[in-house]
Chain A
Amino acid sequence: EVQLLESGGGLVQPGGSLRLSCAASGFTFSSYAMSWVRQAPGKGLEWVSVISGSANNTYYADSVKGRFTISRDNSKNTLYLQMNSLRAEDTAVYYCAKEVLYYFDDWGQGTLVTVSS
Chain B
Amino acid sequence: AIQLTQSPSSLSASVGDRVTITCRASQVITSALAWYQQKPGKAPKLLIYDASSLESGVPSRFSGSGSGTDFTLTISSLQPEDFATYYCQQFNTYPLFGPGTKVDIK
List chain A positions with a Cβ less than 8 A from chain B. 35, 37, 44-47, 50, 59, 61, 95, 100-105, 107-110
Question: Are the C-beta atoms of B32 and A101 separated by less than 8 Å?
Answer: yes
Q: How far is the CA of A37 from the CA of B42 in the complex (A)?
A: 13
User: Which chain B positions have C-beta within 8 A of A110?
Assistant: 43
Closest to B85 in A: A44
* B78 close to A (CB within 8 Å): no
- With A101-B32, A102-B32 as given contacts, are A107 and B44 in contact (CB-CB < 8 Å)? yes
User: Which chain A positions have C-beta within 8 A of B91?
Assistant: 101-103
Question: Are the C-beta atoms of B49 and A44 separated by less than 8 Å?
Answer: no
Question: Are the C-beta atoms of B49 and A103 separated by less than 8 Å?
Answer: yes
Q: How far is the CA of A109 from the CA of B41 in the complex (A)?
A: 9
User: Which chain A positions have C-beta within 8 A of B98?
Assistant: 44
Question: Are the C-beta atoms of A46 and B44 separated by less than 8 Å?
Answer: no
Q: How far is the CA of A110 from the CA of B86 in the complex (A)?
A: 18
Proximity bits, B88-106, A CB within 8 Å = 1, else 0:
0111001111111000000
Q: How far is the CA of A59 from the CA of B44 in the complex (A)?
A: 22
Question: Are the C-beta atoms of A47 and B97 separated by less than 8 Å?
Answer: yes
Q: How far is the CA of A101 from the CA of B45 in the complex (A)?
A: 16
Question: Are the C-beta atoms of A102 and B95 separated by less than 8 Å?
Answer: yes
